Structure 1
Amino acid sequence: MKALTYSTYGSADVLELTDLPTPHPGSDSVLVKVKAASINPVDYKAREGYLRRVLDTVFPAVPGWDVAGVVVRPGLDTPEFAAGDEVLAYARKDVISGGTLAEYVEVPVRTAARKPEGLSFEAAAALPLTGLTALQTVRRAGVSAGQTVLIHAAAGGVGSFAVQLAVLAGARVIGTASEPNHGYLRSLGAEPVAYGDGLVDAARALAPEGFDVILDFVGGDAMDMVPQLLREGGMVASITDPRARDTYGGQYVWVRPHSEQLAELAQLAAEGTLKVEIADVFELDHAAEAYRRLETGHVRGKLVVRV
């Protein structure tokens, strides 16, 4: 099969399209013919070696954890799925190796959900990692109706889903973003605040008594601002900075595969309740270029690779 691979840590220049053996499904996995995959910043951080203390890498490694496709061969004990089922998955495994930027991928059933009718393969592939990260952060922070929630990096891949999920929960949402993304945040139901000097004052002007919940999807200065913005008894959650847990008694979230939650997100997207923003679609033989674009840090929405 054709697959995007890398055989050493490094920049996007180490990526190449190669031929690999088609994988066999394990007893609790299914072999999926990939229709679309999406890419995420964690992919290139892994490729650059930053996850070596968290996950082992087996070379040649195929990047990618997000996938949508069709089951072609079930494993020995996978009653959840049959050949021909259309699925999506956050197909993260215990090692970095057989990823989703390939013609076929082995998918553990615990990571997969059925793709609803009416949801394109491209939109389905764009959903898993960022959608699950947003959902699990929103729920672990206890976001509920009537709360005032501040979301940092609200126009990003995770943040835009978190805005929508918090609004669906009945919260009032204020989101930080650059000026060009303020209209986009309003379309999702959030009140925008610009990054940079004056952010604390601008946010407190909108929420003078402080925020019930702060969700951090950017790190850096966001945690430094918590004492000035979080009301007494409030909750902070972060996917980037363990100070949310260790200093402020909140939540530090490392997203987990979760088939039931993924099915829930997919249904919301199929109904149009959850908007999936796709910035661009690339073919597999141009996937390295997709990573180069992602690494500029100036992409709103997901980059999808069609296989």
Structure 2
Amino acid sequence: MKAQIITDYAKPSELKLDWDLPAFDPKSDQVMVRLKSASMNRGDYTMRSGAAKSFISMQFPCILGKEGSGVVERVGEKVNSIQVGDEVVGVFGDLIKTGAYAEFAVFKEKEVVLKPKSLDFDHASIIPGIGMTIVEMCRSHDWILPIIEREADRVSLGQELTPEYEESEKKSLTIVVIGASSGTGCMAVLFAKNFLSRYFNTKVIAVCSERNSTFAREQLGADGVIDYTKTSAAFGNNTFHSGDEKLSIFQTLKKDFKIDFVDMVMDCVGGYYYYDDLTRHLKCCTDDGRRTYHVAIAPPGPLELSYSTVPAIVWYILKNKFKSWWSAQNPYYFFFSTSPDNPRIMKFLASEQFSPIFEKIPITSFSLEDYQKADDLMASQRTVGKIVINM
């Protein structure tokens, strides 16, 4: 089979396309999928570059890629829910397991769900990564968690979503999405405005560059946009606001939108800046007991994780968690984590009710032969939406 492989921690120029690899045979509880599309994620870049090699050891040669969509070619004798010919979406649940940048991939039965009929393979391939990420981020919030659990249970039983609440029943929910034009950021805005809005009066402020502001408003449905390049966030996500030259993100939120409390910050960039800015410039609790939740997609600090950098990162996270427990004046601090093979949540996201959300996320596609170009674009961090590899 054809596959994109690396034989060691590699620079982009050292990536190799192998045209003659043997396909893997499925075990009794596995399915073999002829992949049509595979979604790229920031974790691919981290693993390929060796930034996490001190803690996550890879075996070479290695086929990268965590998730994809395609058609089932073979099934193991103990597989009951999937049949040959089914169109499916799959994601490797093991932290270091990869293999989606290839013509064929073998998944455990619990790692695949039926592809929504209304979605093409490109958009279906992005469901596990950004879908699971945003659902897990939202589950950090005490108001949102029971809603997601209830609706996931209904979908698993073959039921429709709970009917939309009457306006008088909806609590107000203000969310700030950092990095709103990224794939995860797009999903965050769309999930809030198309799903959470069924049960809350959601107001979403998107943070992105000016060139993506019209897209965030008109395509994603954001209620307002903050151009981070005109704030102190332009100096980098691992810096701190100094106040000497520009207003910060949350100072701008107060000035332009008259908002001094938000229920949730969905930080799809990471770093030190946004949590520090939130803590310094907004009130993080209300008289009726509401608290701000800050959920970050990536840990602060440098991309490379080593025995010298990790202790400082862990201390920063624990310190902020302790401060939020000790005083209501500090926002709750969460660092995103997930179990991507959660079958119930995967089935929830792959239901037809969410297809209109995933359809709105822009896709930039590359052939497997042009993987290096896709990797370069991922490294630039200037992508709007998601990057997908076509087989």
TM-score by length of 2: 0.73
Structure 2 partner of 1:254: 337
Structure 2 partner of 1:50: 51
- Tell me by how many angstroms 1:283 deviates: 1.4
User: Matched residues in 1 for 2:86 and 2:319: separation?
Assistant: 43
CA contact (8 A) 1:148 1:172 kept: yes
Structure 1 partner of 2:268: 217
Unaligned runs of 5+ in 2: 145-170, 233-246, 286-290, 300-313, 325-331
Question: Structure 1 residues 62 and 274 mapped into 2: Cα distance closer, same or farther (>3 Å)?
Answer: closer
- Tell me by how many angstroms 1:246 deviates: 4.5
The structure where helix makes up a greater share of residues is 2
What amino acid does structure 2 have at the position aligned with 1:166? A
Unaligned runs of 5+ in 1: none
- Tell me by how many angstroms 1:113 deviates: 1.1
The structure where strand makes up a greater share of residues is 1
What amino acid does structure 2 have at the position aligned with 1:223? Y
CA contact (8 A) 2:39 2:126 kept: yes
Higher mean displacement: 157-166 or 231-240: 231-240
**Mapping of residues 262-277 of structure 1, within 5 Å:** 262-268=346-352, 271-277=355-361
What amino acid does structure 2 have at the position aligned with 1:33? R
After superposition, the C-alpha distances for 1:67-105 in whole angstroms (9 at most, x for unaligned) are: 001111112322121111110122243434x41000100
TM-score by length of 1: 0.92
CA contact (8 A) 1:34 1:68 kept: yes
2:173 matches 1:172: no
What amino acid does structure 2 have at the position aligned with 1:252? F
User: Matched residues in 1 for 2:318 and 2:206: separation?
Assistant: 21
CA contact (8 A) 1:38 1:304 kept: yes
- Tell me by how many angstroms 1:56 deviates: 2.5
Structure 1 partner of 2:60: 59
User: Matched residues in 2 for 1:116 and 1:209: separation?
Assistant: 40
- Tell me by how many angstroms 1:230 deviates: 5.2
Give aligned pairs, total: 306
**Mapping of residues 186-201 of structure 1, within 5 Å:** 186-187=217-218, 188-190=220-222, 191-195=224-228, 196-197=231-232, 198=247, 199-201=249-251
CA contact (8 A) 1:23 1:106 kept: yes
Structure 2 partner of 1:238: 296
- Tell me by how many angstroms 1:128 deviates: 1.8
**Mapping of residues 1-150 of structure 1, within 5 Å:** 1-18=1-18, 19-96=20-97, 98-142=98-142, 144=144, 145-150=171-176
- Tell me by how many angstroms 1:36 deviates: 0.8
User: Matched residues in 1 for 2:115 and 2:204: separation?
Assistant: 29
Higher mean displacement: 219-228 or 248-257: 248-257
CA contact (8 A) 1:3 1:20 kept: yes
After superposition, the C-alpha distances for 1:89-125 in whole angstroms (9 at most, x for unaligned) are: 22243434x4100010011222221001121011111
User: Matched residues in 1 for 2:94 and 2:27: separation?
Assistant: 12
Structure 1 partner of 2:155: none
- Tell me by how many angstroms 1:66 deviates: 1.6
CA contact (8 A) 1:245 1:252 kept: no
- Tell me by how many angstroms 1:234 deviates: 1.8
2:213 matches 1:182: yes
What amino acid does structure 2 have at the position aligned with 1:229? L
Identity across aligned pairs (percent)? Answer: 26
What amino acid does structure 1 have at the position aligned with 2:335? Y
RMSD of aligned residue pairs (Cα, Å): 2.0
What amino acid does structure 2 have at the position aligned with 1:251? F
- Tell me by how many angstroms 1:265 deviates: 2.2
Higher mean displacement: 263-272 or 277-286: 263-272
Secondary structure of the equivalent of 1:254? Answer: coil
Secondary structure of the equivalent of 1:146? Answer: strand
